[in-house]
Amino acid sequence: MEFVSPEGLRLDGRRPLEMRQLRAEIGAVSKADGSAVFEMGNTKVIAAVYGPREVENRAQQMNDQALVRCEYTMANFSTGDRVRKPKGDRRSTEISMVIRQTMEACIMTHLMPRSQIDIFVQVLQADGGTRSACINAATLALADAGIPMRDLVTSCSAGYLNTTPLLDLNYVEDSAGGPDVTVGYLPKLDKVTLLQMDSKLPLDTFESVMQLAIEGCKAVANYLREVLLENTKQLEYRRGS
Amino acid sequence: MLQSKSFVKKTKGGKVVKVVREHYLRDDIYCGASICKTCDSSVARLSSDASTIIIVDTNVVLNQIDLLENSAIDEVVVLSVVLEEVKNKNLSVYNRLRTLCSNSQRKFFVFSNEHHKETYVKAMVNESPNDRNDRAIRVATQWYQKHLGSAVRVLMITNDRENKRKANEEGISAETVESYVKSLGQPALLDLLARPASEDVVMDSVEDLRPSKRKVIYSEHKPMSEITTGLHRGIYHQGKLRVNRYNPFEAYVGSESIGDEIVIHGRTNMNRAFDGDVVAVELFPQDQWHAEKSRIADEEDEEDESVHLVQSSADDAPRSTNVQGSSADTTPSRPSGCVVGVIKRNWHSYCGSLEPMPMPAGAGGIAHALFVSKDRRIPKIRIQTRQLGNLLDKRIVVAVDSWDRLSRYPSGHYVQTIGEIGDRETETEVVLIENDINSRPFSSQVLACLPPLPWSVSAEHLSDPNREDLRHLQVFSVDPPGCRDIDDALHCTLLPNGNFAVGVHIADVTNFVHPGTPLDDEASQRGTSVYLVERRIDMLPKPLTEDICSLRSDVERLAFSVIWEITPQADIISSRFTKSVIKSCAAMSYVEAQARMDDSRLVDPLTTDLRNMNVLAKIMRQRRIDRGALTLASAEVKFQIDTETHDPLDIGMYQIREANQMVEEFMLAANVSVAEKVLKHFPFCSMLRRHPTPTREMLEPLLRTAAAVGLDLDVSSSKALADSLDRAVGNDPYFNKLIRILATRCMSQAVYFCSGDLSPPEYLHYGLAAPLYTHFTSPIRRYADVVIHRLLAASIGISKLPAIFQDRPQLTSIADNLNYRHRNAQMAGRASVELHTLIYFRKRPTDTEARIVKIRSNGFIVFVPKYGIEGPVYLTARGDNGSGEWLVDEQHQQVKKADSSICYNVLQMVRIHMEVVEPQPNRPKLELTLTE
Amino acid sequence: MVGLSVGETNFIRGGIAQDLRCDGRKRLSYRPIHIDTGVIPQANGSARVRIGGTDVIASVKAELGRPNSAQPGKGKVSIHIDCSATAAPIFQGKGGEALSTELAADLQRCLLGGKSGAGAGIDLSSLSIVEGKVCWDLYLDGLVVSSDGNMLDALGAAIKAALSNTGLPKVNVIAADATSSGDQPEVDVSDEEFLQFDTSAVPVIVTLTKVGKHYIVDATEEEESQMSSAMSISINRKGLICGLTKRGGAGVDPSIVLDMISVAKNVSENFINVLDSEIAAAEAREEE
């Protein structure tokens, strides 16, 4: 199948190195300590952060750092086919773990010993790149909750179809069976904290695809920073009035 | 980074799954006109002096692609909405259009109107997709006119009346194809126009000549919805229609739903379906299933079976019409039926000529003519032409447009002229076109990939750690005389321990053909070199095939070598593979090599090596035969060609010498060694070659013939078959070879495949009795070998595996293309031999011996060993249905006169007379008659 | 769930008694309601309803199915609710299941009528395509994204809005005649034409929460923690009661039940109007 036309346009009209439209909104869940909605094109996720707070299960309490927990769920209506999945299926468990590890790596957990931080991510619409969107939403929610972080961890995926590296695959491109490289990245520290790939790719191609995903992460980081800045301005304005 | 607006397009796919996709609109899509000041003109394709820019609609592309391909039409903007619609409706037209758009000689520009923010249109409420797309085309046309201003006229071409009316209302200039072509002032172009079905009414003039005026000839095709329902309920059966190559009035539809082939008798039952169409068939009640007639020709008076080359495999043999043998007369058990609808058309263009007809009175006007395709499976096609006088004695290409129920023949239009009928070059061109062989010169992009000439081995090559210097070895090559593309060479040295080091050195083509280059793409597309009688169509450009890669004598060349240590008992102890530099000391012909070996006076090192190798080869060959490899025979012929006129001077069977077999043996061994090595490293992406075990059904004709002459063949395994073929010796010396030829044609062809697609037991090469086989030894003329060279280089770790091997579907499609090209090359080769046979006999009526190979009710098919051809001999006059004068005995495969005075048995020898006759002007054919 | 001090508890209870609740509302007034429709594009219909801090999403997915043999001329509707952990940490894992099941059961009772399908807010016979063979199966999915009390009413409103947002593709039956035995008829789903639902009969749910001697509408989470019992009444535009659920352990005097019903009926009129105008406004926004 042709995923990039000879005119250099992808099926949805993007060029190979373009991301889908990003949209973010902070403070979607009033009861949560921090929350955010993050959209990458038609992929839409909502993240809520509760904490830092008392550890529910004392046995899990750690005296030198905070406990970070994460749960990822997909709404029944989030995919084209309506599928009823039991909570905690293998895929969700795996993604929950991936998000938890990625976020844990950037939260300064040592500042909040004997406490617990819960991150809940709910997928409202899935159109490819859900794990990236979840990480980006979680970052915003953590920032909204005022939890100290080393850096704004962001994530983006890139793939390789029709011998062209493509940034930010949507569902159609993702289901083409080609490689899909998901990167989690700390832009200020210039460190990769998450790297996943399915399917296979020659090493030198992989390098360029990964580099592309990192560029995507940087672009997401810029956008997140803008959103946070705007949000802070709003808060300041409201306080002033 | 993202400067586009998001839109959402909703479509309904399949059941009721709502699909939502984003649709980005952009402001960086350019118009492609060089005169445009605002757009980036680096990608512009439309020339600056164009006065008119044409925008075509979907139906114009679908129907008039032949016109668009004509170089008179240029400055065309192809909208992405049109491309998309064409792609969904007809992939082959889409590919042709894409080729046009990418051809730098033509001025076709693709404008992605669907993603341009000013030309995207959203479907309105209650607007059908068709109307929306038409509106999109109009909006884009309007945009172009506004964008480019008054300097250029932007013309929309559409044959849709409603669309044209709306365009005019909106102030867009629009014309029909006909009026546009007329305005160009080139009447010949009008012939290229496809005629819409409605115009058929005008065609009455031709129909009027027939006694039955405009009556319905074919039954109506069922509507698609009814077909779908019918298929669903098992009333209809879907399958691809295959017309019998030897009897165009009989076709078969392989149906999965009933697990058998359905026979379709006659054009009426075929109901306008073409060979290759996917059709829906309704079965007749069982009592109407026809008894099968195994006659040579069939109903109506069209053509009869022609003389042709013998088949080399079952794939191109005619369907055996008398499969169930003697039982056929009493209980016909093959399902038969009729076509009720065509699900997918396989129409393309066909080569042929016009049926001879008198010039109509008003010459220069429009004439109606009937086109007869060279491919007998295709019915005659009705065309209109304004250049009848020009075309009558020409080979032309015609495309089919429509076929309505009232017309006996389909309607089509003229596409191009190839040349004069009977002219050798024209006929060769026809052979190439019919077999889809690209004989165009290599493009400049391809030639740019070649290393500069003169080329020689450089110090860089010698210092390459991955390349062994084998120049000290006494390497030589043995090939057919006059061979210039030498891709294999050999060496054989005696080792101190009494064993031999034997090397097979293959031209290192992949050192020059790199993956992903235009050169590689072209070679991959061509797939193989094509050998015609008087001409060769190369897979790679000549500098590579005849010079840089060719392992000529006394020059240093790069090679890929397989080196074994072999005991004097011909057991391979070890094998290794390396890239190398060699210097051949002798390029011999088979005859020369044979002469050296036979001449006992010669004791020079080269001759000694040859003899040693020959001894080894003989042992290896015997071992292979013991394993069950079949020694099959083909009736390959060879022409002697006049160097001036290129006409054949002599014709004869190809002679096989020991030297041939020696070289062949080592090539087989090299291929097997490489196959094993490559498969070990890349079990899922190797390209191998397999030869499927023939099914019992395929061997049926052989068994029946053998049984008729009292021979019992054991076909339970290749070994058993080989043994029983060995035992098949009659009192006549040629008998064994004849049986072997018959056996060969029962086999299917060997094919390339991707190892990941099949399981190891299926890898078997039946004919060679080898569990693994591939092609490694002819990279200059076969692309499969190029693929294998890359795999081998990767498996010995001296280069990386190209990305393509990661992609199994793509690898499979390469293998499929190679099989297609390979088969076409063979067909073309055979057609070329047939053509030259005809030219040869034109001046030389000959009497010769022939063998009966098949019995028919009105005659029999004979095989002429001397010329390797096969053809019908009639016992009764044409048109006479036998009237009981001759009786066929299926059991004993014989035909005898009612009074038993004369009897012909299968495999019997007869004397025949061969002569070229011309029953119609410009239609020469070879006729075989009995001389008693 | 909500840890409240004695002082806070008294403040809430006192406020209700004096018809001045913590957020300044009267006992029978609602928090601001905001509705968006078409929020889930790949669903056949969807809506997001926010009432104060409560945020729910409802979607309608239609699939072709076979009708129940007991009701060959009717389609099927099922309701499923999920409480997302984003709304409250206790919903994580299987924590939200009990509440989700309860909400789904309540909604079913309030919106879908009896087991036979009689009295449903949606005309089930309009979902029939070929009697006894093919019908539409509607899957109503609700998701609680954020919870601040009154989830049932919000979900009811969201489902109503989602249904009015729903367009079912037009179905053409190709071969209905030949449905001999067990054969599913061939149907063709149109790409262009959509059928809108008649949602005028879909009731709204009004939950009256009894705190102390009084009952309030649209309780917040804190207020709900103080309830003794609650009554959810579904009422349609004609003022007919379509379903009723009583929750909470404390018994209620039958006369008070009747009183609550009549109050709910009064409140519902206004509530329906507010919902209708919000839905209309949301649809208009979506059109743009």
Contacts of A81 in chain B (CB under 8 A): 17
pLDDT for position B764? 87
Task: Tell me the C-alpha to C-alpha distance, in Å, between residue B183 and each of B65, B168, C140, C170, C210.
Answer: 19, 18, 62, 47, 87
Domains of chain A and CATH, by start: 22-240 (3.30.230.70)
- Of the three residues B122, B153, B188, the one that is the final residue of a domain is B188
Contact between B515 and B802 under an 8 Å Cβ cutoff? The reply is yes
- Check residues B690 and B288 and name the one with the higher pLDDT: B690
DSSP label at residue B286: G
Q: Which residue of B has its CA nearest to C40?
A: B20
Which of B265-274, C49-58, C184-193 is predicted least confidently?
C184-193
Residue B58 maps to which CATH number? 3.40.50.1010
Whether B161 maps to a domain, the answer reads yes
Among A77, A78, A82, pick the best mutation site for testing chain C contact (most C Cβ within 10 A). A77
- Of the three residues B421, B454, B482, the one that is the final residue of a domain is B421
Whether B631 maps to a domain, the answer reads yes
Quote the CA–CA distance of B16 and A6 in Å, as a whole number.
32
Quote the CA–CA distance of A14 and A40 in Å, as a whole number.
13
Cβ separation B806–A201 shorter than 8 A: yes
- Of the three residues B139, B166, B188, the one that is the final residue of a domain is B188
Closest CA to B334 of B430, B254, B398: B254
Tell me the Ramachandran region of residue C132: left when phi exceeds 0, alpha when psi lies from -120 to 50, beta otherwise: left
Cβ separation C191–B11 shorter than 8 A: yes
pLDDT for position B210? 44
Structure tokens at B615: 């001894």
Which of A187-196, B429-438, B549-558, C224-233 is predicted least confidently?
B429-438
**Minimal Cβ distance to B128: which of C44, C64, C192:** C192
- What does the pLDDT look like over B397-432, one tens digit per residue? 888 888 888 888 888 888 888 888 878 888 888 888
Regarding whether B164 and B114 lie in a shared domain, the answer is: yes
Cβ separation B4–A163 shorter than 8 A: no
- Chain A nearest CA to B823, separation (Å): 26
pLDDT value at A1 more than 80: no
Cβ separation B2–A81 shorter than 8 A: no
Residue B761, preceding bond cis, omega within 30 degrees?
no
pLDDT for position B310? 60
**Residue B877 confidence class, pLDDT cut points 50, 70, 90:** low
Regarding whether B257 and B201 lie in a shared domain, the answer is: yes
Contact between B157 and B177 under an 8 Å Cβ cutoff? The reply is yes
pLDDT for position B328? 37
**Residue A96 confidence class, pLDDT cut points 50, 70, 90:** very high
What HEC string does C241-283 produce? EEEEEEECCCCCCHHHHHHHHHHHHHHHHHHHHHHHHHHHHHH
pLDDT for position C117? 65
pLDDT for position B241? 86
Contacts of B112 in chain A (CB under 8 A): 5, 7, 9, 13
- Check residues C7 and B260 and name the one with the higher pLDDT: C7
pLDDT above 90 as % of chain A: 66
**Minimal Cβ distance to A80: which of B6, B19, B22:** B19
**Residue C184 confidence class, pLDDT cut points 50, 70, 90:** low
Contacts of A6 in chain B (CB under 8 A): 98, 101-102, 110
Tell me the residues of chain A between 11 and 40 that have a Cβ less than 8 Å away from chain C: 28-32, 35
Cβ separation C86–A122 shorter than 8 A: yes
Regarding whether B621 and B640 lie in a shared domain, the answer is: yes
Cβ separation A71–C59 shorter than 8 A: no
B37-51, B98-112, B554-568, B646-660: range with highest mean pLDDT: B554-568
Among A12, A25, A31, pick the best mutation site for testing chain C contact (most C Cβ within 10 A). A31
> What is the mean predicted confidence (pLDDT) over B480-503?
88
Mean pLDDT score of chain C: 86
The reply to whether C148 touches chain A by the CB within 8 Å rule is yes
pLDDT for position B246? 67
pLDDT for position B634? 62
Cβ separation C183–B129 shorter than 8 A: no
- Check residues C243 and B208 and name the one with the higher pLDDT: C243
Residue B894 maps to which CATH number? 2.40.50.140
**Minimal Cβ distance to A32: which of C57, C86, C141:** C86
> What is the mean predicted confidence (pLDDT) over B722-737?
76
Contacts of B10 in chain C (CB under 8 A): 41
Cβ separation B110–A219 shorter than 8 A: no
Quote the CA–CA distance of A2 and A5 in Å, as a whole number.
6
Domain that holds residue B357: 194-290+332-421
> What is the mean predicted confidence (pLDDT) over B381-396?
82
Whether B316 maps to a domain, the answer reads no
Regarding whether B494 and B459 lie in a shared domain, the answer is: yes
CB within 8 Å of A237: residues ≥ 6 apart: none
Side-chain-side CA neighbours of residue B448 (13 Å): 5
Structure tokens at B309: 């080359």
Burial of B91 (0-12, 13-18, 19+ CB in 10 A): exposed
Q: Facing residues of C83 across strands?
A: C144
The reply to whether C57 touches chain A by the CB within 8 Å rule is yes
pLDDT value at C29 more than 90: yes
DSSP label at residue B69: H
In terms of pTM, does the model score above 0.90? no
Cβ separation A42–B22 shorter than 8 A: yes
- Please compute Rg for chain C using Cα positions: 20
Regarding whether B462 and B399 lie in a shared domain, the answer is: no
Side-chain-side CA neighbours of residue B788 (13 Å): 34
Whether B603 maps to a domain, the answer reads yes
Cβ separation B126–C192 shorter than 8 A: yes
Contact between A131 and A98 under an 8 Å Cβ cutoff? The reply is yes
Side-chain-side CA neighbours of residue B577 (13 Å): 24
The reply to whether A57 touches chain C by the CB within 8 Å rule is no
- What does the pLDDT look like over B746-761, one tens digit per residue? 778 888 988 888 888 8
Tell me the residues of chain B between 126 and 145 that have a Cβ less than 8 Å away from chain C: 126-129
Cβ separation A31–C85 shorter than 8 A: no
pLDDT for position B643? 65
> What is the mean predicted confidence (pLDDT) over A170-193?
90
**How large is the angle between the packed helices B783-795 and B658-681, nearest 10 degrees?**
50
- What does the pLDDT look like over B65-77, one tens digit per residue? 888 888 888 888 9
The reply to whether B333 touches chain C by the CB within 8 Å rule is no
Tell me the residues of chain A between 58 and 77 that have a Cβ less than 8 Å away from chain C: 71, 73, 75-77
The reply to whether C34 touches chain A by the CB within 8 Å rule is no
Whether B348 maps to a domain, the answer reads yes
pLDDT above 70 as % of chain B: 86
Regarding whether B848 and B822 lie in a shared domain, the answer is: no
Regarding whether B493 and B417 lie in a shared domain, the answer is: no
- Chain A nearest CA to C279, separation (Å): 21
- What does the pLDDT look like over B31-56, one tens digit per residue? 888 877 777 777 777 877 778 888 99
pLDDT for position A222? 94
Closest CA to B485 of B453, B529, B440: B529
pLDDT for position C270? 92
Q: Facing residues of B156 across strands?
A: B55, B174
The reply to whether C166 touches chain A by the CB within 8 Å rule is no
pLDDT for position B260? 73
**Residue B645 confidence class, pLDDT cut points 50, 70, 90:** low
Contact between B70 and B189 under an 8 Å Cβ cutoff? The reply is yes
pLDDT for position B443? 83
Burial of B869 (0-12, 13-18, 19+ CB in 10 A): buried
What HEC string does B102-138 produce? HCCCCCEEEECHHHECCCCCCCCCCCCHHHHHHHHHH
Contacts of B18 in chain A (CB under 8 A): 80
Regarding whether B845 and B779 lie in a shared domain, the answer is: no
Tell me the Ramachandran region of residue A89: left when phi exceeds 0, alpha when psi lies from -120 to 50, beta otherwise: beta
Regarding whether B275 and B134 lie in a shared domain, the answer is: no
pLDDT value at A154 more than 90: yes
pLDDT above 90 as % of chain B: 10
Contact between B379 and B272 under an 8 Å Cβ cutoff? The reply is no
DSSP line for A128-172: S-HHHHHHHHHHHHHHHTT--BSS--EEEEEEEETTEEEES--HH
Handedness of CA B228, B231, B236, B239 (dihedral sign): positive
Mean pLDDT score of chain A: 90
Domains of chain C and CATH, by start: 15-287 (3.30.230.70)
pLDDT for position B880? 54
- What does the pLDDT look like over A37-93, one tens digit per residue? 999 988 999 999 998 999 988 899 999 999 999 999 999 888 877 666 666 688 889
**Overall number of domains in chain B:** 4
- Chain B nearest CA to A18, separation (Å): 6
Contacts of C42 in chain A (CB under 8 A): 77, 79-80, 125
Regarding whether B212 and B340 lie in a shared domain, the answer is: yes
Structure tokens at B503: 């090397």
> What is the mean predicted confidence (pLDDT) over C162-190?
69
pLDDT value at C74 more than 70: yes
pLDDT for position B922? 63
Contact between B744 and B454 under an 8 Å Cβ cutoff? The reply is no
The reply to whether B389 touches chain C by the CB within 8 Å rule is no
Mean pLDDT score of chain B: 80
Cβ separation B17–A81 shorter than 8 A: yes
pLDDT for position B563? 93
pLDDT for position B193? 79
- Please compute Rg for chain B using Cα positions: 31
Whether B13 maps to a domain, the answer reads no
pLDDT for position B121? 84
Phi, psi of B909 (to 5 degrees): -90, 135
Contacts of B29 in chain A (CB under 8 A): 7
pLDDT for position B312? 57
Regarding whether B454 and B402 lie in a shared domain, the answer is: no
Which of B210-224, B503-517, C136-150, C195-209 is predicted least confidently?
B210-224
**Residue B870 confidence class, pLDDT cut points 50, 70, 90:** confident
**Minimal Cβ distance to A29: which of C55, C97, C139:** C55
**Minimal Cβ distance to A19: which of B2, B20, B800:** B2
Quote the CA–CA distance of B138 and B165 in Å, as a whole number.
11
pLDDT value at B505 more than 90: yes
- Please compute Rg for chain A using Cα positions: 18
> What is the mean predicted confidence (pLDDT) over B532-541?
87
Q: Which chains touch A (3 or more CB pairs under 8 A)?
A: B, C
Which of B663-677, B703-717, C180-194, C257-271 is predicted least confidently?
C180-194
Contact between B687 and B757 under an 8 Å Cβ cutoff? The reply is no
Regarding whether B371 and B493 lie in a shared domain, the answer is: no
**Minimal Cβ distance to C139: which of A71, A82, A87:** A82
pLDDT for position B803? 76
- Chain A nearest CA to B240, separation (Å): 24
- ipTM of this complex: 0.89
CA angle B123, B126, B129 (to 5 degrees): 50
Structure tokens at B423: 């002219």
Quote the CA–CA distance of A7 and B28 in Å, as a whole number.
12
Cβ separation C178–B128 shorter than 8 A: no
pLDDT for position B699? 80
Whether B696 maps to a domain, the answer reads no
**Residue B209 confidence class, pLDDT cut points 50, 70, 90:** very low
CB within 8 Å of B920: residues ≥ 6 apart: B356
pLDDT for position B294? 47
A174-188, B204-218, B306-320, B861-875: range with highest mean pLDDT: A174-188
pLDDT for position B932? 64
pLDDT for position B633? 62
